[in-house]
């Protein structure tokens, strides 16, 4: 892994970033800077459940990727900057996170610095990709589907696909065929694993990272925001189903040749 920007405390970059397909897993991190950890009352198990543990392992099928280590409870890199730091329970699913019920202004500003460091490091790499032509960023996340408890029934599958592909801000005129190719390829699944239920914009449509790319590189950058339902792990214990995770990794890897072909057509 190569740290190309001197920001290893917030983000490192794997690969040479020659493009044109890169990946992020911005909610995979679990770390906190010491002063944030000291101010936090939220128990670690609940925090881990609301993060996206192990999504960096899914994103790792892409050679060129950003690797982040900080928890979304320090700075949520997929929210707009004005919403990126959870200060009160209403900012984060009603959870009581901080001593005294709210985060201090000083700690808030420090967390905004974490947010800014990520985007300041990412932007020049994406700028270089955009100069060479169209590119795709696979923005890998996960989501809970058993919120009623460890022993409760999962949320209905009809409203919760195994992979939700967020494309709401994608330029469909330019990238429509690429999106359709990606959906067809990931739905095919992996050998011996069966098909994957992948659908667009059912529960998630893509947020700040997608907006950043699409605003900064119109007609050039395409973000596919991928929410993997936690069928490959127990969201209450964080135990990983290695077989299912391998199937999903292989299915995602199987989309890469098609993405490269579609990007080459756009060039």
Q: What is the CATH number of the domain that holds 240?
A: 3.40.630.40
Q: What is the sign of the dihedral through the CA atoms of 33, 142, 2 and 178?
A: negative
Residue 90 lies in a domain: no
Percentage of the chain beyond pLDDT 70 is 97
Asked whether residue 68 carries a pLDDT value surpassing 70, the answer given is: yes
Torsions phi, psi for 3 (to 5 deg): -95, 110
* Cα 188 to Cα 197: distance, rounded to the nearest angstrom: 9
Q: By percentage, how much of the chain surpasses pLDDT 90?
A: 92
**Phi–psi pair at 138, nearest 5 degrees:** -90, 110
Residue 158 forms part of a structural domain: yes
Are 23 and 65 spatial neighbours (Cβ–Cβ below 8 Å)? yes
Q: How far apart are CA 231 and CA 48, in angstroms?
A: 16
Q: How many CB atoms lie within 10 A of CB 56?
A: 22
Instruction: Assess whether pLDDT exceeds 60 at residue 2.
Output: no
Residue 167 has pLDDT above 70, yes or no: yes
pTM (two decimals)? 0.95
Give the residue carrying structure tokens 């409203």.
159
Is the pLDDT confidence value at 22 over 60? yes
Of the pLDDT bands very low, low, confident and very high (cuts 50, 70, 90), residue 1 is very low
Instruction: Say if 159 falls within a structural domain.
Output: yes
Which of 43-52, 148-157, 180-189 has the least mean pLDDT?
148-157
pLDDT at 100: 92
Structure tokens at 121: 């490091």
Cβ partners under 8 Å of residue 215, min gap 6: none
Q: What pLDDT, on the 0 to 100 scale, is given for residue 267? A: 87
Query: What letter does residue 15 receive in the DSSP assignment?
Result: S
Domain extent at residue 173: 16-27+53-65+115-266
User: How many folded domains does the chain comprise?
Assistant: 1
First vs last Cα of the chain: how many Å apart? Answer: 29
Residues in the chain: 267
In a domain, 33, yes or no: no
pLDDT for the residue numbered 8? 58
- Burial (Cβ within 10 Å: 0-12, 13-18, ≥19) of residue 191: exposed
Residue 25, token pair as written in the block: 């897993």
Kindly state whether residue 141 falls inside one of the protein's structural domains: yes
Is residue 182 within 8 A of residue 255, CB to CB? The reply is yes
Position 198 in a domain: yes
pLDDT at residue 19, rounded to an integer: 87
Is there a domain that residue 104 lies in?
no
Given a cut of 50, is residue 197 above it in pLDDT?
A: yes
Give residue 74's pLDDT.
98
More confident residue, 84 or 153: 84
Q: Which residue has the higher pLDDT, 152 or 191?
A: 191
In a domain, 122, yes or no: yes
pLDDT of residue 152: 84
């Amino acid at each position: 892994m190569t740290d190309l920007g001197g920001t290893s405390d917030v983000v490192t970059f794997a690969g040479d970033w020659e493009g044109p397909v890169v990946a992020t897993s911005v909610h995979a991190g679990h770390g906190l800077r010491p002063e944030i950890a000291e101010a936090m009352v939220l128990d670690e198990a609940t925090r881990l459940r609301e993060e996206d543990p192990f999504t960096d392992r899914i994103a790792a099928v892409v050679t060129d990727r950003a690797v982040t280590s900080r928890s979304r409870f320090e700075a949520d890199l997929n929210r707009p900057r004005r919403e990126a730091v959870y200060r009160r329970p209403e900012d984060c699913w009603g959870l009581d996170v901080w001593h005294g019920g709210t985060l201090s202004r000083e700690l808030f500003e420090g967390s905004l610095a974490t947010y800014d460091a990520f985007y300041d490091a990412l932007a020049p790499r994406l700028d270089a990709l955009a100069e060479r032509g169209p590119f795709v960023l696979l923005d890998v996340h996960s989501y809970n589907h058993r919120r009623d408890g460890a022993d409760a029934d999962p949320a209905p599958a009809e409203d919760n696909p195994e992979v939700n592909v967020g494309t709401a801000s994608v330029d469909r005129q330019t990238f429509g065929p690429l999106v359709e190719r990606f959906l067809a390829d990931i739905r095919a699944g992996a050998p011996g694993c069966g098909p994957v239920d992948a659908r667009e914009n059912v529960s998630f449509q893509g947020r700040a990272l997608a907006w950043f790319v699409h605003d900064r590189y119109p007609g050039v950058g395409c973000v596919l925001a991928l929410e993997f339902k936690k069928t490959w792990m127990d969201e209450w214990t964080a135990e990983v189903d290695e077989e299912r995770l391998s199937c999903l990794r292989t299915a995602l890897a199987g989309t890469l040749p098609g993405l490269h072909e579609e990007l080459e057509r756009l060039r």
